[in-house]
Every structure is written in C-alpha cells, then in structure tokens.
Structure 1
Amino acid sequence: MSEKYKAIDPELPYFVTFSIIEWMPLFRSSDYADIIVNSIRYCMDNKGLELFAYCIMPTHLHMIIRAVGKGPGPIMRDLKKFTSSEITRALKYDTENLNMIVAFKKAASDIRRNKYLKVWQDGYHPEMIYSNKFFFQKLNYIHMNPVKGGIVELPEDYYYSSARNYAELSAPLEIIIQSIELETL
C-alpha cells in the first residue's frame, strides 16, 4: 500500500472511500444503504467516530471522518467487516440480485478468510485532511458526486448525502457541521 493511502495522524480528519466489488450498484436499494447508515451511526455512538460529511452512492461511499486518538483504521475495518456480514445475510433472501451474489462469491473464492461472499474492495483509501481548503475541496467532491453521476440535479436532493444536513433538510445521519481549524502543512 502506498504512503498516500495510510492514516498516519490519528488527530486529523480523513477523506475515506470504499467501494463494492466490481462496482456493483448494491446501494440503489435503501435496504442495503440503511445497513451502512445504521453501522456508521453505531460507530459514532460507540466507537468515537466523528462524521463531517458522507455520501452513499450506488456503488461506493465517501466520508470525511475523524477518530481522535485512534485514527480511522480500526473503525473502518470493523465497519466494513460488520456491513459485509449484514449485507451477505440480507442477500441470501434477495432473489433480485443474483448477479451480485455471483460476483461476490467469485471475489471470495480467491481469499481464504472469506467463506462465502466478498462485498467490499480492499482498503478504504484514507487521505489526510491537512488544510481547510482541502477539507472544502473534498466536501464539495462528496456532495457533487450524485450530481455528476446523473442521479439528481442538486446535491441536497440526494437522500444519502450530508448535503442535506448542510441544507438543513432531514438526513439519515447526523454530522458535525463546524469549522475545522487546520494548519496548512
């Protein structure tokens, strides 16, 4: 793994991304997106995860997070492991997504630790948020993702995005909306 994608300072926020195997559009279904929402909420309530921004796209998700004192690694590992189990459990009863099950089985067949399905691509690609300018660049990127993807016309129209929080609309997750005082490195 390159140095670019390592969380080295546990005090700073990070832009993180993780994607579904073969970019399958699993999160088009709110049933699966809600698994992510509930898991993020659990990590916020019980593991010290601070959430500044998020967007759960059909094939991947982006977040700006912080886990003071720990860094994001252990929380992201647990989040991906738990959501993978929950998604696998839900897919067993989902006859409409057989193509996803086949793709996830194929991905798991090459890995000893995976017994049935591999849902997530490896890694979470943390990028350290080192300045306010970079924070707002990533925030804009996250919020514009569904617009650029042709899903909605306005960022706040996408339900699974913190753009709704910033627009003071109902949203599935609470976030921290405050200025982060960061020095430019």
Structure 2
Amino acid sequence: MATRTLHNDPGETWFITFTCYNWIPLFEITKSYNLLYDWFMFIAEHYQIQTHAFVLMPNHVHVIIKLPETEAGLNKIISNGKRFIAYELVKKLTLLGKIDILDQLSAACTEKERAKGQKHKVFEPSFDAKPIFSTAFFHQKIDYIHHNPVSGKWLLCNDFTEYPHSSAAFYHSAKLHEHVSITDYRDFWTDINHVKPVRQI
C-alpha cells in the first residue's frame, strides 16, 4: 500500500502542483479562477504564507510558496484548500447544469471515499510538493511556471507575460497582479537578484 508523503518542514520554499481529476479543465469550464485567488489570500492572512510565483491553468495549478518558520502543516493547508475549492466547483457545475461532468466526478469516487461522505472527486488525490533548496532549481521552476501557458498543447496567449492568471508580468514587466500579493523571491534569494527570470529560446 502506498504511504502518504508528509511535507511538514517549516520555513521552506515549495514548488507545488495540484490537478483537476482526469485533467478536466474545471477552472475554465466554471470560470472559477477567483476561487484560487481567494485561497491565496486566505493562506496569506491565516498562515502568513508568501506567494512567490504562480500560474493558474484550466485544469491545474503551479505555485511557489514560502511557509513561515512556525508553520508545520503543508499537507493540511493544501488538503483543506483543495476541499474548499472542490466544494465550490461542484456548486458551480450544478448551477451550470453540467450533469455529465458531475456524473463523471461522482463515478470516480471509491467506496471508501463515499463512506467518508465524499460525493465527487474534483481533484487528483495527491499533490506534488518539491522543496526548493537551490537558486538554480528556483530559477528552473519559476521559468517553467511562467511559460506553461504557451508550452506544449497550451496556446492560451501569444506572449507568456500577457497571461492574466500568472505572476509572469510581475517579474518581467514590473506589473502588480490585480488579485495576488506577490512576494518578490529576489528579495530573499539574493544571489539571483541580478538574474532575469527569462528562458532563452
């Protein structure tokens, strides 16, 4: 049986990814990016978690956050966030009459999950969390995050800095984000203060 990985080291910077069930673009279908912005605000106010970088995709989220030294519950924070967002997504799917999607999410629940009261599987069960210990790894991940909207199958904008649900414009155009208070990572990772977070193509 697979064991659950605990990500509980306080004071660390984390690259986190979580995904909608079966990669269904639930955020785009329901136009619910605001739920993720509300979550960013909640974890900042209640846990003093800093958001360094992010991208909100139609079916998944990448974010780099820093936990305060006193915090030791990343699993709980992410799990609670996913639970709240899932509840709101189901409400929106219901209001939109997306019965086919709701049936698919319901059918995905296991008997064990149903016994615990879960009615829909909105997200993949786990999330990916990688601690960032080096500036090279940080630079790699922030570059990956910002280019996600124009990489692979995604053509969500012409220029990655124009994608609205991302921190790219903050770093590349010094433009404050309308919904997220971004903490500039260069204020903490001082040895890359003069490295532009741009990928050479």
Q: Normalising by structure 1, report the TM-score.
A: 0.87
* 1:156 matches 2:161: yes
Residue matched to 1:87: 89
Residue matched to 1:32: 32
* Separation of aligned partners in 2, 1:123 and 1:89: 22
Q: 1:88 to 1:100 in 2, by over 3 A?
A: same
**Preserved contact between residue 55 and residue 61 of structure 1 (Cα < 8 Å):** yes
Residue matched to 2:199: none
Residue deviations 1:5-40 (CA, integer Å, cap 9, x gap): 652532110000000001001122473111111122
* 1:144 matches 2:153: no
Offset at residue 109 of structure 1 (A): 4.6
Structure 1 unaligned regions, length at least 5: none
CA RMSD of aligned residues (A): 2.3
- Supply the AA of the counterpart residue of 1:103: Q
- Supply the AA of the counterpart residue of 1:165: F
Residue matched to 1:15: 15
Offset at residue 62 of structure 1 (A): 0.3
After the TM superposition, which residues 102-121 of structure 1 pair with which residues of structure 2 at under 5 Å, given as runs?
Answer: 102-110=103-111, 111=113, 112-121=115-124
Identity %: 23
**Preserved contact between residue 51 and residue 64 of structure 2 (Cα < 8 Å):** yes
After the TM superposition, which residues 174-185 of structure 1 pair with which residues of structure 2 at under 5 Å, given as runs?
Answer: 174-179=181-186, 180-181=188-189
- Supply the AA of the counterpart residue of 1:150: L
Deviates more, 1:168-177 or 1:119-128: 168-177
Structure 2 unaligned regions, length at least 5: 192-201
Q: Normalising by structure 2, report the TM-score.
A: 0.81
Deviates more, 1:130-139 or 1:74-83: 74-83
Q: 1:57 to 1:168 in 2, by over 3 A?
A: same
* Separation of aligned partners in 2, 1:18 and 1:37: 15
Aligned residues: 181
